[in-house]
Amino acid sequence: MSYYDIDAILTDAEKVPCKFELDIPELGYLDNNPAQPLKSGTTVGLPLWLAELLALANRAPSSADEEAKSFVSLNLPPSLSNEVMSALKADPRAVPLRDQSHNFYGLGTRMLDLFEEKEICAILRRTFVTRAADIALHAGKAGATDDMGIGGGEEFLRGLEEWERKLFKKAHDGAKGSKEWMEGVKKHRR
Amino acid sequence: MALSLPSGLVPTEVAFLCEMEMITIVPRQRLESIPMLSGKTPALRPPRRADLPLWLALLLKKQRRANIVPPPWLLPASLQEIVHLETNYDPEAFSPPPPPPMRSDGRGVARPYATTTRSGNEDKELILAPPFLPSCTQDAPSGYLPYHWLEIAETLLAHAADDIPNAPEVRALLRDLQEVRAAKMRASTRHLEGGGGVLNIRGVGAMELAESRGFVLGVVDGVRKLGASAEAGRREELERGDDEDESDDDMGL
């Protein structure tokens, strides 16, 4: 992942729900309540880069008997919630992942770094591999003829998130290259 | 990442490389041996067959100075056999590549796999390693697709269709073969799901690789990224397990 990777930056900006563990004055506007301090226990969606730092950093205990605690506690974002996971378990192809998050797998890997969720990991992997086969099928067909397979595939292609779009482009470039050569070999040669 | 060149060879480059493959021709005119960087070409004497690189063979064919002898695997019977193998024998694996020209006889001696039937060629040196295996000459084994099968077949069909017996059938069989194998290529990535990270692509041709390299690498990379955290956890556990084992050993001693 490069420093200038636009998808990595956008993944960093994805909101994840965080529960604040302490009262914070002057931050009430985050909860649409500017007059009041932000109460502990409030859940606010924070961008991933900030949430990660706040959740991993420990604040100094206010008294000797209190344990060191983090500022916020992280939760799984709605795109990785149980409902989405069970839908993906049932049929990976039926879920438009782009509606869940533009960087669904990117967000997934970042969350898996923070949480140890073996099941989500397995489901994501199965989803990716199953959808990849479909992506290759559509990529081979797209642009071949106007009437073939496009009508039914459009819905599926609209649901692709960024990783899958890149994969689609790669598969399509490969198919296009060999098709162009096949047509070219018949025409121009010596 | 500023230069967005695709990794590996693109189809046109593969097609260019395949023109180095040797192919058998029947010359119609005499032609003296030509010294070239890759070695001397054989002197052409009309009724006698000779092996030439594909590019030269096509040039002579275009000038009507030679006819091309299609490799045995490009004949309809052989292609039918391969299609049968691909569809019925093993619906997941690709048909095997041609056998090596030599095999061990178990006593430490290498013997030629198939004895050459051509007479007058005993002095020819035996080539053992790709990419210069005579996989597309008339000596090539039938029933096996060589590495450059798709490019050779397409080029020959485009420029020497009159030398191929039953060209329309060959063309149709090639389309079938291509479709079947492309479907297998797409389905093969499903094996990555278990996290093995290994894909069996034995017998896949150069053009097919060029076509699906980007896709397959993309899937492998994606699966690797998705499993990275689980893999790190597993490794940690393994290390911890090793430590415990060691301490057990220490106790035993």
DSSP structure class, residue A148: S
Residue A161 near residue A102 (C-beta atoms within 8 A): yes
Residues of chain A with CATH 1.20.58.2050: 1-75, 78-190
Distance from CA of B20 to the nearest CA of A (A): 16
pLDDT of A71: 82
Q: What's the residue count for chain B?
A: 253
Q: What is the pTM of this model?
A: 0.79
Q: Distance between CA atoms of A189 and B156, rounded to whole angstroms?
A: 12
Task: For residue B196, give the CATH number of its domain.
Answer: 1.20.58.1020
Chain B residue at shortest CA distance from A132: B219
Residue A149: pLDDT band by 50, 70, 90 thresholds? very low
Find chain A residues with C-beta within 8 A of B158's C-beta: 185-186, 189
Render pLDDT for B201-230 as a digit per residue (tens, 0 to 9). Answer: 888 888 888 888 888 888 888 888 888 877
Q: How far apart are the first and last CA of chain B?
A: 55
ipTM of this complex = 0.81
Is the model more confident about A142 or about A177?
A: A177
B218 touches chain A (CB under 8 A): yes
Name the residue with higher pLDDT: B13 or B234: B13
Statement: residue B196 has pLDDT above 80: no
**Tell me: domain A78-190, CATH 1.20.58.2050, correct?**
yes
B111, part of any domain: no
With helix as H, strand as E and coil as C, how does B89-158 read? HCCCCCCCCCCCCEEECCCCCEEECCCCCCCCCCCCCCCCCCCCCCCCCCCCCCCCCCCCHHHHHHHHHH
The nearest CA of chain B is from the CA of A58 a distance in Å of 23
Nearest CA in chain A to B60: A190
Q: Is the pLDDT of residue B117 over 50?
A: no
- The pLDDT of residue A142 is 66
According to DSSP, the residues that pair with B236 across neighbouring strands are none
Residues A153-159: what's their mean pLDDT? 75
Return the CATH fold of A1-75.
Answer: Methane Monooxygenase Hydroxylase; Chain G, domain 1 (1.20.58)
